[in-house]
Structure 1
């Protein structure tokens, strides 16, 4: 019997039946915690600006706080390279443990940082350092978690499983919103601004411990184990992904750029936009955003199941078209000053993004083989999120200031959607791809 025949026999005897839900839970719980940590920063940006930056010019402090928010996205590609290579060489599960530990510690430390009033310029420098740690973690988390879910999922449910994991990013934003709103209601405004805002950050540590426990109880990806038995792992997955899968890396970049811009407008920019530009109170802005995120969560999983039936490309192209058409009206509605209109505008954007995500989140992983999946997807995905997701809140504020139009971010989003739509005509259909190759 040849070595290849032996490997085939071992595969048949040891491969676990796909579809058990523990790997899905293990992937989803980490994504929940990762994005909870990002969400509480976005939800407390006005207080972060006042606490960590020089007083005097509120607009400059706000833009500075958004710039620090974007720092985590700038370093995400580096995190993707480092953790992606670890995942392709040593296993998905190992990366999932490492990144969850890093994000929990970094976020909890933000909750105990001294303010600008206490230590001067050291305060924003420490904040930037911890945001860098969060960014490195995020660079490895998302593609590792979604790849882990993809490689465990039944073949006809891959998009559903992946969109379930991604939906946890919105659920975590909802939970972060509830925590911030609840504390804001329970505490006097001065107390919340002085110390109450720290509590959501400190909660990251116990949440991470729960996530680590769940991930410890999950098995390694069957696709990785098969490649390991066959000695088919890459010694240099990052280099190989760039050399052999360059077109796939670009496809992942384009799909991620669209998702990142729309998603971080929704979770990272709208809570502040509604307060500063639409004149809503903090509670009304956060509540309306929460309603939109609930809609996004439910509809994204439904869109993923539709993507499993009709394919990835129809969902991607229809979603991109919807984003072209609906982005300016979404900002028009959200900026009108009415709570109901704010909900409607955000829901309009969320639903269009769900349709796009029903195909894109699976496709950007399925275009890669097992041996370079984490590295290749992380390169494209994190570059897209760094350039378009991390800059979304900052660029949104700058566009409004420069143009004098509070609807300018919507036109920018529509333009990006149109460019991504054109790129999809070079994208293959991946619904029937053998992901174990």
Structure 2
């Protein structure tokens, strides 16, 4: 049991750090905009700051190719060790950066470079960690173990939100701008050191050791994904599109939707979002466990099918102006999406053979996040503004869910099968 706990922690810690930074940067976007992109127009500073944030998304597919190759060619352990160091160093370095007032144009330039390195490490971190955890999982528990990867992401978001809320309450605004914002990035040192130590002292996965022993390591895993497993890649891309659109619409966009279009206080909208994310965190391991009992396919089809049918009425319900309706609606979304998010990691690991698993999963998962994930809040906002219909963001969610539902129909049930 101790060995499994160490394996789960080793896989989870990088995702906590990754998503912690994601939330912290978003939380501090206004401050970072003013310190690194000073302008007479505060909105312009904010847009530039968010533009730098988007740069990280562009690098995710590049990181997927790089770390996918390292994981399949040299081992999951090596890929995870490199990615946690890259992520921890770049996160901490942002906290150490001089501002525009101190070194001029070099400040935003260095910020962009560090966000590029973060995006690179993120592109391989999550998918490699899931491959690592699932390949270590005991028979009959792959769904439960795989769900820990996405649980790490949710824990990171909650940790980032809590840290941001505490520091903004404790520090006055002048101190927050002077040095307080840096403190949130220094957490990267602690998580990075712990993650590096654990990963350096963990065993390589039995499946990869088996490949090494039998001299079956694929020398061109990225190329062979498209040559040998293109159908699996398409399924991965289609299913991941729903996760990308679903997560960023439900847990990133809706808080802004409630503030901007429903005119709720920001604190109320964030409280609703936090409660729904706690529900998500609690349900993720449950659905992972359930998928080991009843299979992956029924849960995938239920989650995507329900989203197609219920998204529009739920969005209208959430937009009614009632705090209770908004809370109930987002919790329903959280329950439905939890089923899909919890078992997608294991499902995608199971459809690829070990030789090209890391590359196939990493590229097929990260491409939709780069294309559809980061743009989901923007598209949702555009839909409401152009249609004047508060339920219109549901159309984008429905389209992504329909694509995933069709892909789900083509899946072979893998819960009781041995890993390829």
TM-score for both structures, normalised by structure 1: 0.88
Residue 21 of structure 2, aligned match among 37, 43, 54: 37
The structural deviation recorded for 1:347 is: 1.8
1:133 matched to which residue of 2? 117
Deviations 1:52-86 (A, max 9, x none): 44535555554444443332122111101111111
1: CA distance, partners of 2:363 / 2:34: 35
2:54 matched to which residue of 1? 70
Structure 1 position 220 matched with structure 2 position 204: yes
1: CA distance, partners of 2:332 / 2:40: 37
The structural deviation recorded for 1:380 is: 0.2
Deviations 1:405-429 (A, max 9, x none): 4443232112221222123222222
Gaps of 5+ in 1: 1-16
User: Which secondary structure does the structure 2 equivalent of 1:300 belong to?
Assistant: helix
1: CA distance, partners of 2:335 / 2:34: 34
Structure 1 position 424 matched with structure 2 position 408: yes
User: Which secondary structure does the structure 2 equivalent of 1:111 belong to?
Assistant: helix
Structure 1 position 305 matched with structure 2 position 289: yes
User: Is the 1:180–1:200 contact (alpha carbons within 8 Å) kept by the matching residues of 2?
Assistant: yes
Residue 298 of structure 2, aligned match among 314, 328, 343: 314
1:235 matched to which residue of 2? 219
Distance change in 2, residues 1:47/1:276 (3 Å): farther
Distance change in 2, residues 1:114/1:405 (3 Å): farther
2:5 matched to which residue of 1? 21
Structure 1 position 168 matched with structure 2 position 168: no
Distance change in 2, residues 1:327/1:235 (3 Å): same
Aligned-pair Cα RMSD in Å:
2.4
2:190 matched to which residue of 1? 206
Structure 1 position 191 matched with structure 2 position 175: yes
TM-score for both structures, normalised by structure 2: 0.92
Counterparts of 1:28-427 in structure 2, within 5 Å, are: 28-116=12-100, 122-336=106-320, 338-427=322-411
2: CA distance, partners of 1:193 / 1:403: 38
The structural deviation recorded for 1:201 is: 1.5
1:11 matched to which residue of 2? none
Distance change in 2, residues 1:53/1:273 (3 Å): farther
- Which segment is superposed worse, 49-58 or 304-313? 49-58
User: Which secondary structure does the structure 2 equivalent of 1:428 belong to?
Assistant: coil
The structural deviation recorded for 1:120 is: 5.5
- Which segment is superposed worse, 106-115 or 70-79? 106-115
User: Is the 1:19–1:154 contact (alpha carbons within 8 Å) kept by the matching residues of 2?
Assistant: no
1: CA distance, partners of 2:49 / 2:326: 24
2: CA distance, partners of 1:166 / 1:301: 9
2: CA distance, partners of 1:408 / 1:105: 41
